[in-house]
Amino acid sequence: MSRTVSWPLCILAAYLIGSIPFGVLIARSKGINIREHGSKNIGATNVGRVLGRKFGVLCFVLDFLKGTGPVIAAGLLNGTLAKKAEALAPQQMWLWMAVAAAAIAGHMFSIFLRFAGGKGVATGFGAIAGMYSLLTWPAIAAIVAWYLVARMTKYVSLASMTAVLSLPVSYLLSVIPPGAMDQPFAQTWQHLLHAYPPFVGTLAIALMVVWKHRTNIARLRQGTEPKIGASRRPAASLQ
């Protein structure tokens, strides 16, 4: 397969794989329509609240993998995996980012749910982490940020938004060349200009995820957003 053909196919495949609504399927296996319970979201947080923690973890892992899998496969097919920004052409970075964005868009606007979907956090982390080594360390930093904010505030939504917004910042810090303060500004600037596609891509993904959290933002402002540990199980038992 030629590289000019494989990128479009990878992007399409990423969208279709990202569209698989694992939260809906897991809940359906227990006789529950997840979109009628709790926050009505199909993601791991709501699945965990409605069905129990183990099902929430299962949903998170599957949503994470449907982001990671297509991105790693695209990297292997097109020779971008395990390369840093300086070893890749801007066009390669744009196309790889497009695969990640397609997987996330699939989760948010699933073709199997009439273009409805979840908020893209688990799939987003998976897709970004799969861009090894271009974005793996920023993804790890974002996961650490998520954990710290979730532990301090007990709000999953706030932790998720903080984590995704940290991605473009941590990426930018990761590509600043060693000894940049001792180099001519023009040289450092050229380096950053070459590496800018993932910065723009992660910023766009972060803004899209925050937009998907607009109802959570409203509840946070009203003081009605549920905290970690709150249960929204349906009245009917899950026996």
Instruction: Give the whole-angstrom CA distance, residue 193 versus residue 202.
Output: 15
Residue 84 lies in a domain: yes
Residue 123 lies in a domain: yes
Low-confidence ranges of the chain (pLDDT < 50): 1-2, 235-239
Residue 231 lies in a domain: no
Question: Which structural domain, as residue segments, surrounds residue 96?
Answer: 3-222
Residue 230 lies in a domain: no
Residue 237 lies in a domain: no
Burial class (CB in 10 A: 0-12, 13-18, 19+), 203: middle
Residue 19 lies in a domain: yes
pLDDT given at position 232: 56
pLDDT given at position 3: 56
Instruction: Give the whole-angstrom CA distance, residue 80 versus residue 6.
Output: 13
Contacts (Cβ under 8 Å, ≥6 apart) of 119: 41, 43, 108, 160, 209, 212, 213
Instruction: Give the number of domains in the chain.
Output: 1
Please give the biggest Cα pair distance in the chain.
Answer: 67
- Supply 128's token pair: 């970004």
Residue 235 lies in a domain: no
Residue 236 lies in a domain: no
Report residue 110: phi and psi, to 5°. Answer: -70, 130
Nearest Cα residue to 96 out of 127, 53, 58: 127
pLDDT given at position 83: 93
pLDDT tens digits for 190-234?
878 888 999 999 999 999 999 999 999 999 999 999 998 765 555
pLDDT given at position 236: 43
pLDDT given at position 161: 97
- Supply 180's token pair: 């940049």
pLDDT given at position 180: 65
pLDDT given at position 60: 97
